[in-house]
Structure 1
């Protein structure tokens, strides 16, 4: 069990979140490989249809009275912004969500529907500059992934998973900035020890955690993926440090495999899932998990003794037109 990171208290976060966020279901789903027993952790059924509600509320719940009066700000292309807008509204706090103008219109409108002030900017750098201006004016930055309190909240997903399936042997997690995978990995190490393989699944065109783990610090690669939500400029230092300490492995998937995974979850599972949310399951469906990071674990497995694998479905806020096209392919 990692002795590091006493600042990250996932058990305390779970107490704060109780009665506010949902305990999402863990359901069986065909893996396509007789050696793999697959179960899906459906965070697409969470508040605001994304795991981001966990980290947002955990941060809001710990603000001081002065910070609550000052209000909060974040930069987000969608799910974190919606989650912060939802949490701030629930707590009676003003939220400013800075978003790229290229964000999905449904995600922009969802933030406004929750009562947040939305500021649209033309570029990623312009978003960062606007957030810096808002922070200088006194608002509290709520980071989407690179913060101890965000990791705490995301890690509660892992504690639920352990209770729901203590026999789990491998957990696959979609990776954008790395808040979810680092939180889940830390939760698993503190409860089940080293026996569970934790795999972060990234688009091949946005290998930010893969490069960050290798370098030990944030690396900003050229981003070449269409999967919104999994393409930050870099992973955060917190996320890299926790992931390295917990032995997180990474796996890179091309966009086509991720989109094929989304199609299967939507059309066979009947869930509303965005491409980013489908990445972990897609790693199983495509055979890449079995061929790469899961290969040694599967060597002696069979249909009578399958490897127990959980994949987190992290978000369910797709672009409506994209979702309609996916459903039309049934």
Structure 2
């Protein structure tokens, strides 16, 4: 389990590389709501925090030899960005069907992209790492990744010490594990709630049963929130079981309407995975504690055609 000291060390490691994103009061959405816009990061998502910290924590010879990961997009972009900064070769194994906007961005940052069926992303990553002598930096099942993502929670408490509720997306659980670690250490009275799509609710299922529950790849890939399709690991499940106060699930319709609302009312571009926390605030208030609430908008790498279609459809319905 990581500690607040691990998160503080990560904050020093990524200072000047990852953006220290602000808290934005969003009165148009809720009078007690603040947004943490991680879409403002250099690669458009929070993942840069963990990727930079994990890569910089490797020995120099491992950095020079190169690294590999598997990713639906945002972690791959983050590792490619970090690799370009320090001169490390990067390979990203991408599942078929990953958003083209994300895959194109990975390539533009100089990484090699290997596309595989979704169920083979981890096994193919391991094979390539062994064949080429690359170090695997997974998207969430890694202490340095979790610590890096935890800097989001560190900043939330620094900027809003009286925070009552923190809403954080849950996919593989790295972000939620890190944020819960930081918030519980620095503001123990605050409640940390995870949010995930109902169509990929393996974390809610696991926490309800007190054991790691496996959902099929086909089940998890039903959600449009591609960044939240990954399963928990033993490491992230252990963190969430001990430090998360609860979990809420949101529907696909709730996610889509919230993407549009964030763009119009808060001027924030959020991908579906990044919109789930605000969707929980808007549509599941009865499941949340009252008080000053921060919703982590984890990323903004949305297909431009999808965003345009949502905004046009809403105009036509108005």
CA contact (8 A) 1:56 1:87 kept: yes
Q: Distance in 1 between matches of 2:28 and 2:194?
A: 18
The answer to whether 1:73 aligns with 2:39 is no
The verdict on how the C-alpha distance between 1:215 and 1:132 changes in structure 2, with shifts beyond 3 A counting, is farther
CA contact (8 A) 1:82 1:110 kept: yes
CA contact (8 A) 2:80 2:90 kept: yes
Q: Give, in angstroms, the shift of residue 7 of structure 1.
A: 9.7
- Equivalence for 1:16: 13
The answer to whether 1:107 aligns with 2:105 is no
Q: Distance in 1 between matches of 2:75 and 2:2?
A: 23
1:212-251 matches, cutoff 5 A:
212-221=206-215, 222-223=219-220, 224-232=222-230, 234-251=231-248
- Partner SS, residue 264 of structure 1: helix
The answer to whether 1:95 aligns with 2:105 is no
- Partner SS, residue 48 of structure 2: helix
Q: Distance in 2 between matches of 1:50 and 1:32?
A: 22
The answer to whether 1:39 aligns with 2:37 is no
CA contact (8 A) 1:225 1:255 kept: yes
- Equivalence for 2:266: 269
Normalising by structure 1, we get a TM-score of: 0.89
Q: Distance in 2 between matches of 1:162 and 1:69?
A: 36
The verdict on how the C-alpha distance between 1:54 and 1:284 changes in structure 2, with shifts beyond 3 A counting, is same
Q: Give, in angstroms, the shift of residue 215 of structure 1.
A: 4.2
Q: Distance in 2 between matches of 1:31 and 1:174?
A: 22
Q: Distance in 2 between matches of 1:97 and 1:320?
A: 23
Picking from 280, 283, 302, the partner of 1:283 is 280
Q: Give, in angstroms, the shift of residue 70 of structure 1.
A: 2.0
CA contact (8 A) 1:59 1:150 kept: yes
The answer to whether 1:318 aligns with 2:302 is yes
**CA-to-partner distance for each residue in 1:116-148, whole Å, 9 max, x for gaps?**
011112x11232232011121221111111111
- Equivalence for 1:206: 200
**CA-to-partner distance for each residue in 1:256-309, whole Å, 9 max, x for gaps?**
1111111100122222211110000111112x1x211x2xx43xxxxxxxx100
Q: Give, in angstroms, the shift of residue 237 of structure 1.
A: 1.4
The answer to whether 1:167 aligns with 2:165 is no
Q: Distance in 1 between matches of 2:209 and 2:90?
A: 35
Picking from 257, 274, 291, the partner of 1:260 is 257
- Partner SS, residue 30 of structure 1: coil
CA contact (8 A) 1:8 1:149 kept: no
The verdict on how the C-alpha distance between 1:308 and 1:6 changes in structure 2, with shifts beyond 3 A counting, is closer
Q: Give, in angstroms, the shift of residue 6 of structure 1.
A: 4.9
The answer to whether 1:60 aligns with 2:55 is yes
Structure 2 portions without partners, runs of 5+:
none
Normalising by structure 2, we get a TM-score of: 0.93
CA contact (8 A) 1:31 1:37 kept: no
- Partner SS, residue 106 of structure 1: helix
Picking from 55, 75, 80, the partner of 1:85 is 80
Q: Distance in 2 between matches of 1:247 and 1:81?
A: 26
The verdict on how the C-alpha distance between 1:156 and 1:6 changes in structure 2, with shifts beyond 3 A counting, is closer
